[in-house]
Amino acid sequence: MTRRVVVTGVGLLTAVGLDTVETWRNLLAGKSGVEPITHFDTTGFAVTIAAEVKGFDPLQFIEKKELKKMGLFIQFALAASQQAVAQSGLQITPDIAERVGVHIGSGIGGFDVIEREHTALLQGGPRKISPFFIPASIVNLAAGHVSIRHGAKGPNSATCTACSSSAHAVGDAFKVIQRSAADVMICGGTEAAITPMGVGGFAAMRALSTRNNEPERASRPFDKERDGFVIGEGAGMLMLEGLDFALQRGAPILAEIVGYGMSGDAFHITAPDETADGAVRAMRATMTDAGILPEQVSYINAHGTSTPYNDRLETLAIKKVFGDHAYKMPVSSTKSMTGHLLGGAGGVEAGITALILRDQIIPPTINLENPDPDCDLDYVPNQARKAEVEYALSNSFGFGGTNAALLLKRYAE
């Protein structure tokens, strides 16, 4: 019999909240986290808006002497993981440490550190490079620091698959527990790429919204006037546990994770396949993994980036997978409020999906004012909605044609 896996904790750190409670409340209120960039001087930049985490104090989670060893993405990961572990109520003691693992994804890693140390090199030569440069910036050190902080000695890994990174991390962690290679996995994603190179690079690709004069209206998935995504930052972490392990210790159970699917487009370095074939296969694989039919899915947390191609082709993929049921099923994009956290998006959105299943309410897609004729599904426009949600799908699609979908279920004994 396949081992059941449940979510016992969620940690969210986003542009709309410094913790899970605040983030969830503001998502349900339809609050935008997009504002003018404050992290750096945007003079001369085509894009001057982003979904920054505001008011974050790393000293609440990390000793001051340790900060120099960590890029901002690592700091975010530690803060969110601490929330998730605390909510789960698990004490990671030496007797269970080898059965507790960590999988964390990031698409970019320590851009802030790379840019700072490159400036130090140019201005002062190689002797000015910090000895902590490499460990503060490489992607796997988020998982490394989280495992050290919590004493988790089980499977430890990092995924770097662009905007699918943390969805893959959560899915891989689910499979680790399902095959009994661990009892608990701290998993999710983190990103902190609101830097001159990060914003400048995506702007050079013409991927970002240039609605600089109306930041709160810039991220508008599925709207006819969408003109690109808004870069976001933060972290989303989940505590996954084997159901048997969770029940034995009386853990709180928010939702169950039941399916995971992956695919590759083999099409283009950035553009999605015009037939939406990769997204279709990822969603179908997820339902096959869970052993359910398409009509059993009650809701989709869409990748929904607010880019012209993504939203149209994700809509097409949903129609191909679900047929007539696509028009009966709510779909929403919380990126309309959080911005796009790149490699951190899947972790945040998997956490949000667990909360949807727990509370039976769906956050809206804000700024959906002029529907695109090609995007004609029920996107829960502008206001949260109470709904009966039994199975919920969370989609993540990344550059290079790497796709992931996660299926979560309302928990029942």
Residues near 287 by Cβ (< 8 Å), separated by ≥ 6?
A: 259, 261, 293, 294, 297, 407
DSSP for 233-281 reads -EEEEEEEEEHHHHHHTT----EEEEEEEEEE--S-SSSPPTT-HHHHH
141-150 helix and 72-88 helix, angle to the nearest 10 degrees: 40
- In angstroms, the first-to-last Cα distance of the chain is 16
Q: Are 120 and 128 in contact (CB under 8 A)?
A: yes
Euclidean distance between CA atoms 144 and 121, whole angstroms: 26
Catalytic residue among 145, 168, 303, 375: 303
Q: Which of 103, 145, 150, 340 is catalytic?
A: 340
Known catalytic residue at 325: no
CA quadruple 86, 354, 107, 168: dihedral positive or negative?
positive
Tokens coding 97: 């440490």
Residue 340 known to be catalytic: yes
Two structure tokens written together for 57 = 């104090």
Instruction: For 249-374, list the strands marked E by DSSP.
Output: 255-264, 299-301, 331-332, 361-362
d(CA 338, CA 348): 9
Q: Which two tokens stand for residue 283?
A: 């969603």
Pair of tokens at residue 1: 């019999």
Task: Given the residues 160, 163, 187, 375, select the one marked as catalytic.
Answer: 163
Residue 163 designated active-site: yes
Residue 136 near residue 313, CB atoms below 8 Å = no
Give the span between the Cα atoms of 83 and 88, in whole angstroms.
9
> Which of 248, 274, 343, 275 lies closest to 303 in space, CA to CA?
343
Distance CA(301)–CA(279), nearest Å, equals 14
DSSP β-bridge partners for residue 257:
5, 408
**Which are the catalytic amino acids?**
163, 303, 340
